[in-house]
């Protein structure tokens, strides 16, 4: 199969299912935001006196850090083993590393939407959730597992060892 592990495609599909579940989770969170707004109209948050502006800025910085963290973490998890280290290019190992890197990347991307949901629940501004949800969906789209990328990385990893 062109030097790629046989379990690569099923592993990628499993990671893609996790990605789709996280996207669905963001959509469900949006429905919850709308439900809370409708049931508690006018909704001004559960802690309207809290310093939401400060927290918002912290969460914006965290969103930027999340993107950098995903890039760093992926490069570390998918890099070739260090010189003198035991090479780990078995088919199972390659698929496991790709799956782990993909799912962790997706989870970190999802955390951005959770921060927006927290802001909405505290301050009552639906735009807080929706803004962070869009950024989260962008992160999920950028780091969504793609079989072609997995195959390219697996071939490159097999050549390095």
Tell me the per-residue pLDDT of 124-134, one tens digit each, with 9 for 90 and over. 999 999 999 99
**What is the pTM for the complete model shown?**
0.86
Distance from C-alpha of 21 to C-alpha of 50, rounded to nearest angstrom: 32
What pLDDT band is residue 2 in, cutting at 50, 70 and 90? low
| Domain containing residue 49 | 8-80+88-160
Share of the chain above pLDDT 70, in %: 88
pLDDT tops 60 at residue 27: yes
Residue 70, class by beta-carbon neighbours within 10 Å (0-12 exposed, 13-18 middle, 19+ buried)?
buried
Cβ-based neighbours of 56, under 8 Å, separated by 6 or more: 119, 128
Identify whether 69 is part of a domain.
yes
Identify whether 2 is part of a domain.
no
HEC per residue, the chain: CCCCCCCHHHHHHHHHHHHHHHHHHHHHHHHHHHHHHHHCCCCCCCCCCCCHHHHHHHHHHHHHHHHHHHHHHHHHHHCCCCCCCCCCCCHHHHHHHHHHHHHHHHHHHHHHHHHHHHHHHHHCCHHHHHHHHHHHHHHHHHCCCCHHHHHHHHHHHHHHC
pLDDT for the residue numbered 86: 55
- Which residue, 6, 151, 156, 131, is CA-closest to 57? 131
Identify whether 22 is part of a domain.
yes
pLDDT for the residue numbered 154: 83
Q: Please give the tally of structural domains in the chain.
A: 1
Share of the chain above pLDDT 90, in %: 70
pLDDT for the residue numbered 31: 97
What pLDDT band is residue 33 in, cutting at 50, 70 and 90? very high
Identify whether 122 is part of a domain.
yes
Identify whether 1 is part of a domain.
no
pLDDT for the residue numbered 124: 92
Identify whether 3 is part of a domain.
no
- Per-residue pLDDT of 54-102, as tens digits, reads 999 999 999 999 999 999 999 888 875 555 455 555 767 888 899 999 9
- CATH assignment of the domain containing 44: 1.20.1420
């Amino acid at each position: 199969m062109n030097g790629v592990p046989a379990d690569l495609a099923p592993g990628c599909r499993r990671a893609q299912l996790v990605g789709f579940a996280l996207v669905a989770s963001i959509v469900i969170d949006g429905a919850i935001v709308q439900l809370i707004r409708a049931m508690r109209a006018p909704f001004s948050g559960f802690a309207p006196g809290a310093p939401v502006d400060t927290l918002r800025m912290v969460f914006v910085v965290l969103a930027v850090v999340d993107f950098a963290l995903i890039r760093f973490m992926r490069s570390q998890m998918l890099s070739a083993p260090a010189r003198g280290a035991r090479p780990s290019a078995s088919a199972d190992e390659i698929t496991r590393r790709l799956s782990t890197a993909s799912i962790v990347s997706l989870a970190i991307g999802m955390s951005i939407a959770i921060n927006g949901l927290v802001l909405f629940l505290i301050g009552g501004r639906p735009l807080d959730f929706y803004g962070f949800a869009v950024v989260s969906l962008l992160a999920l789209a950028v780091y969504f597992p793609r079989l072609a990328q997995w195959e390219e990385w697996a071939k490159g990893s097999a050549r390095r060892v």
